[in-house]
A and B are shown apart, each in its own frame.
Chain A
Amino acid sequence: MSEMKEMILDAAGRMLKENISKDVVDLLERDDWARGIWALFEETGMFNVAISEKHGGAGGDLEDLLHIVRLTGKYAAPMPYAESTFANFLLEATNQAIVKNIATYSLKEGFHLQNDLISGSLHNVRWARHADYLVARVDSFQGTQIALIDLQKATIEHSNNLASEPRDTIILDKVKPISIAPLSEEQLFYTLSIETAFKIALMTGAIERIYEITVQYSKKREQFGRPIHRFQLVQQHLAQLAGETAIAITAFHNVCAAIQSKDFLHEIAFARIRIEDAITTITSVAHQIHAAIGMTHEYTLHQYTRRLWSWRDEGRNSPFWSNYIADYLLKHDVDLWAYLTKTIGKK
């Protein structure tokens, strides 16, 4: 990462840290969101990272964007940053003009194209009620396409995930898309893997935060006359937390490194499978160390554990990627060690 990029990340981290308190995250529960931070992000060009120059991008690459997404996960930022930037990523990937307003996306099946008009319904679309545009997968006899849709023309039914983040149902009835472009099988897989990388980034951020607040708590909280981190059994929990956090962070960094090399599908698959496992351990251990206080709404731990429990089921999750790897191993006569060390076919 260049110095310039580090400055962008520093700025993003500071904005989030200074502006997001527990109350701001709780806005979601009153069906509101962090418009102020959104405006700050807009002013400082955080939405143009990883957008090409021909579309008015500010320089920077996918790795930088993933790091900002990780920070929004770390502060549980209640705004559709990952969704908006990924929607624009999809538009760019299919050579369509990007949008400036709030956008969301969906890569699930549910929309069909007939006579150039889109109909159908999609469930669990992130942030749809607050978005102006939807970038969605549309299937037709001509194959899969990516369409840009004006959400004013949609019916939106509200629904939330475990963390009160908007996950709405969108119903379209013969709506004409603003633009539409084909998506090849290969491109579809590429976009699914980048979507997974975005989720891995969010999850890693939340995991980092859980680690921080749990270690802090174990130092502050006293029982039987000493801080709880001094108890051997609590230490066993803490060490497990450290191990799973280290695995998640290192997996994320390796995904970032691999994404530059194009040969990264298996890395994304392994990272997603392993991080979902880490989430099981981390959420349970963090709550156990916090004991009663961690279960109250007043304390912040749940803002991260509820998100992780939701996010691990969103997008292409570990069953999908396990299936992908199993298929690959069945269809190819590869030596396992060569596969793991990325030396297939080399002698």
Chain B
Amino acid sequence: MFQLPTVQFTEEQEAFRLEVRNFLQAHITKGTFTPAIDSWLSGVDPSFSKLIGEKGWIGLTWPKKYGGQERSTLDRYILTEEFLAAGAPVAAHWFADRQTGPLLLRYGTEEQKQFFLPKIAKGECYFAIGLSEPNSGSDLASIRTKAEKVEGGWIVNGQKIWTSNAHVCHYMVALVRTSPYDEKKKHSGLSQLIIDLNAEGVTIVPIKFLSGEYHFNEVFFDNVFVPDNMVVGETGNGWEQGLAELAFERSGPERILSTYLLLEELIKELKHQKNKDGLKQATKLLAQLWALRNLSIGVAKLLESGNAEDVAIPASLVKAIGTKFEQSIPEIARLLVETYPNLEAKRKFDRYMAQAILHAPSFTIRGGTTEILYGMVAKGMVEK
């Protein structure tokens, strides 16, 4: 069985946590944003992202020469946790900060790093993640969007789907097939391209989510030209590069805290009603959150030591258990406090409940379904 490190935050880290918390509280008071459930995916606010960029809080761990702050993975953990606990609208820059930045730092050319990273860090440049396609959800090796080599670049044809926030993003890192599809070698011949979403031949069609909001999109590529200097890393190495990103994507606090605001409101309501029995039942949720944070912080600490291979399995595990937990909060909360879920409700509990219920089905799907993750974990267990 793998063992994760335990972490006691230092005084400096605690001070940083409070700095972020006070900043967010001040902006809630000022009315800059209204806290909401699942805001890391659905809370798009470019002006707020710019504010975060000005604070130096995007690309926190990146080298200073690319606009970063060279701070630790644990500092970044604290920062993201505070954003989530406050329900701050950070979705515009989220994927660029979490995935594109680390990807470019690891595999990008110097030119790409100098061009993209400082803009991302300023909160002015957003990236969409181009993985899913209509017939390949969890089975990414089956993707068919293809790029054909032409003079000076590539011509891309195909379609991506479930692309979060593509309609507000400037670019997409798309996983595409640069060699013909081979049934026997499905993982080879894939490459990552940076596609300008304003380029000719790109069409973005929103998909209305069950809550009535738009954050998913279909993105069509019709003979889109991508210049050679927009290939990330090695041509044909897209699968391995993509896998390296996943540990960052799967183990973060956003897989635990998407519905945290509802839990906080639940405890407030129970305290207000002096409902001790209800509070006793709610302690199960608190104990689960405590346990999951320990796991997730442990994975962050491992990532800091740079051993991405060791963390793939624990990261998948955190994602699988964490998302089930965030999904369970509305189910338990509704049994403890009477509610009429309504997206327009004045009472926060009812409003968060409505947001949580309508967003919850996606938690255990986005970023890898629980079933696929369980399969990966089980394989890792028997191989050891």
Interface class of chain A by DSSP: helix
B274 within 8 A of A: yes
The reply to whether A329 and B294 form a contact with Cβ atoms under 8 Å apart is no
B17 within 8 A of A: yes
A257 to B284, CA, bound (A): 22
Partner of A274, one of B8, B274, B291, B377: B291
Contacts of B194 in A (CB 8 A): none
A235 to B280, CA, bound (A): 33
The reply to whether B294 and A250 form a contact with Cβ atoms under 8 Å apart is yes
Partner of A325, one of B283, B288, B298: B283
The reply to whether A329 and B290 form a contact with Cβ atoms under 8 Å apart is no
The reply to whether B298 and A250 form a contact with Cβ atoms under 8 Å apart is yes
- B277-298 vs A: 1/0 string, CB under 8 Å? 0011111101111111111001
Contacts of B289 in A (CB 8 A): 340
B85 within 8 A of A: yes
The reply to whether B8 and A246 form a contact with Cβ atoms under 8 Å apart is no
A30 within 8 A of B: no
Contacts of A261 in B (CB 8 A): 8
B76 to chain A, nearest CB (A): 15
The reply to whether B290 and A270 form a contact with Cβ atoms under 8 Å apart is yes
A336 to B314, CA, bound (A): 27
The reply to whether A329 and B267 form a contact with Cβ atoms under 8 Å apart is yes
Interface residues on A, range: 35 or more
The reply to whether A246 and B1 form a contact with Cβ atoms under 8 Å apart is yes
A243 to B22, CA, bound (A): 35
Partner of A229, one of B18, B288, B382: B382
Q: Among the listed stretches A45-53, A104-112, A139-147, A211-219, which one makes contact with chain B, having 4 or more residues with CB under 8 Å of it?
A: A211-219
Q: Among the listed stretches B100-108, B132-140, B368-376, which one makes contact with chain A, having 4 or more residues with CB under 8 Å of it?
A: B368-376
The reply to whether B263 and A336 form a contact with Cβ atoms under 8 Å apart is yes
A159 within 8 A of B: no
Chain B residues with a Cβ closer than 8 Å to the other chain, count? 52
A47 to chain B, nearest CB (A): 27
A242 within 8 A of B: yes
A215 to B6, CA, bound (A): 25
The reply to whether B381 and A242 form a contact with Cβ atoms under 8 Å apart is yes
Contacts of A323 in B (CB 8 A): 280
22 contacts between A and B (CB under 8 A): A218-B382, A229-B378, A234-B378, A236-B378, A239-B374, A239-B381, A242-B381, A246-B314, A247-B291, A249-B1, A250-B4, A250-B6, A254-B294, A270-B290, A270-B291, A274-B288, A323-B280, A325-B286, A326-B280, A330-B276, A337-B260, A340-B289
10 cross-chain pairs, A with B, having the tightest CB-CB distances, nearest first:
A235-B378, A239-B374, A326-B279, A273-B287, A270-B290, A238-B378, A239-B377, A270-B287, A274-B287, A322-B283
A interface residues (Cβ-Cβ under 8 A, vs B): 208, 211-212, 215, 218-219, 229, 232, 234-236, 238-240, 242-243, 245-247, 249-251, 253-254, 256-257, 261, 267, 269-271, 273-274, 277, 319, 321-323, 325-327, 329-330, 336-337, 340-341, 343, 346-347
